[in-house]
Amino acid sequence: MKNIENVLMEGMKETGIPEYMRDGLLSYVLHGLPPGGFLKAVLANDLKGAVNRADMNNLNAIERYVDFLHKYAPSDCWGNLGKVNSWFEKCGLYETR
């Protein structure tokens, strides 16, 4: 049986999340650790903010993030800024830091 961390990592690989972004995204989902500005904007469904903060790799991968979030991430951790802030307070999926 696969644990949630492995499922999330496999999902990031499958959807094409850039490798250098995977640890930050995983830490956010599992532990509610605040991500960088680009990733926070993606999670909050702030397209303008995401585009303005993206490097070229991430700019080309925005659709991949959306695909990953829809397929693998808990719906409580993304979609708007309120959900993102609540996820920080909750300390993520494991509810502990």
What percent of the chain lies above the pLDDT cut of 70? 96
Residue 68 belongs to a domain: yes
What's the domain range around 29? 4-87
Residue 20 belongs to a domain: yes
Residue 93 belongs to a domain: no
Burial 28-53 (b: 16+ CB within 10 A, else e): bbbbbbebeebbbbbbbbbeebbeeb
Please compute the mean of the pLDDT values over residues 51-78 and round it to a whole number.
97
Please compute the mean of the pLDDT values over residues 45-62 and round it to a whole number.
98
Residue 16 belongs to a domain: yes
Number of domains in the chain: 1
Residue 36 belongs to a domain: yes
Would you say residue 97 has pLDDT above 80? Answer: no
Please compute the mean of the pLDDT values over residues 57-61 and round it to a whole number.
97
Residue 95 belongs to a domain: no
Would you say residue 2 has pLDDT above 80? Answer: no
